[in-house]
Chain A
């Protein structure tokens, strides 16, 4: 351990600090000895606590004190008390000036230190209800904010539609590359695999009724109406909503959004509208790809096990009405809009810290997947009722 004030020395032998009450020359005194350092902090703390309730004797003998560091000084200052630390120059002349300064500085700091915060209050049912109410109120405010933001984006969007000069095609195409082109491999691979799994499941279940060939219909209906668009939307919710939140959130943390506003530029127009526009194009395009890959994956399984003629398989796929494809594709722009809006809004809501950006990114992904599935369920019900 370090020995402050002891020239060029490092105590080789550990000498744990101690304090004891002894009878000195003029009455009882506290005798302090050994190393008062961070290493022995816990043991020293217990001794100091044990010594505290007793009436403090006037005398303090520091002549046997070995090493002393800031943590040890904090304990020693607590043991001796601020008044006696001030008087140390007279009462303990053996103490070096350095150590006296250290003790005085720490004693003064102890006086200024914040009191321990009150322990957390116990749980009570009333508070839980209040917390629930606060959460609901917060949720309602967030929903109102989201609706207001949607309106703002739509208004900005519509306002720029008539001004081709302000379409920001550069920003849109760069976003399109990141959200659509770079997502092609993962979307293709995933939907191909899911198509194959659906076909396998279909053959297992339908095979019991001798209706293996209807697996073709199962795969086609599932992908045209639901899986193609939902898988794409969920993937983009994970990929792009999170990216939007992180990009805009870190720009906000870097005061870039404030800089834009100060320059008279609208962050909605510069950042949000290109992302919304890019996703509005990306999700339908990727849905077409997802449907094709899903049908290919399912088709491969069917070809390998039930129907060996590719021409006949394509014919069977062709018998499924195009309206099912349209029913699926119609949902794509809605999902795209929801994902983009949630991703951008969470980015704008993020605070200045890394933790806040992270929390809002998580929230953006969870919310956008949640809304994609809720909207898909609602659309499913609606289409069934309407008979599309």
Chain B
């Protein structure tokens, strides 16, 4: 993997400056800055209601920021969004519950963007879709099944395959391990690292799962007080003197996850 801090590597995969979002009269983010380096897995944490989901929805272009600038690989997200093949080809999104189209099989879900955006015929798209599904480790028998017939972990893998279908540069994940059993969650964390290494992805993920932070993330960003309070390695972030951060990383679960990883 390329080190993200390597000089001459160009601009970060994503740069957010002075982001302001308001819902109704409430200010959710106020002057939020964030850099996501190329090839890293960045985990975003924050308390309930701190605006993690709103930030994710803003970054992937589902919400317009009220002020501020979002650049993706040096290009303004706003102008990318206006291009027909702009944003959709550069980012892939895994929604919390997978959001697979329930009327399509797993294979068809992955094939759909290939047919619509890349102009493939249905048999070509489905053949490629089966490769993607295998890449995310989905059992071959799951391909022809409908989302309602798949387990939670299988849905996440199929949805990840769909997010990868258009070969995006940046992958956004909303709570990727929520609802998975610990074994499935650990598998998914490993899969993320494997795919990042193999495909050279940049990954931005929102999570509550301390194990994901310890095993998969290169850096951690803390969202609190309406901005990104800190970004850095887990140790750096955990040392910050803020109530929620202390309760999160140094509470019983945080200690358990840290001990399990052998990081005192």
Contacts and interface: CB of A to CB of B under 8 A. Distances in A.
A11 B228 CA distance: 34
B167 A69 contact: yes
A42 B123 CA distance: 12
Contacts of A45: 124
Contact of A106 (B8, B114, B135, B166): B135
Given A7-B8, A8-B10, A42-B119, A116 B127 contact: yes
Contacts of A101: 197-198
B172 interface: no
Interface string A25-47: 00000000000011101100100
Contacts of A70: 132, 135, 164, 167, 199
Contacts of A106: 131, 135, 198
Interface string A78-117: 0000000000000000000010011011100111111111
Contact of A116 (B118, B126, B199): B126
A11 to B, nearest CB: 13
Interface residues of A, number: 37
A356 B9 CA distance: 50
B143 to A, nearest CB: 5
A102 B197 CA distance: 8
Contact of B148 (A39, A41, A111, A353): A353
Contacts of A380: none
Interface residues of B, number: 43
The B contact surface, by secondary structure, is helix
Given A7-B8, A37-B167, A117 B118 contact: no
A115 B107 CA distance: 12
A42 B124 contact: yes
B112 interface: no
A116 B143 CA distance: 10
Contacts of A351: 148
Given A5-B200, A116-B127, A105 B10 contact: no
Nearest to B141: A114
A39 B126 CA distance: 16
A352 B107 CA distance: 20
A41 B200 contact: no
A355 B140 CA distance: 24
A4 B196 CA distance: 12
A42 B131 CA distance: 16
A2 interface: yes
Given A111-B134, A114-B140, 9 more contacts: A8-B9, A38-B114, A41-B118, A70-B132, A70-B199, A105-B198, A112-B134, A114-B133, A117-B144
Can you list the 4 inter-chain pairs with the closest CB atoms, starting with the nearest? Answer: A8-B10, A114-B140, A105-B198, A69-B167
9 contacts: A38-B166, A38-B167, A39-B118, A45-B124, A105-B135, A105-B198, A105-B199, A113-B131, A352-B148
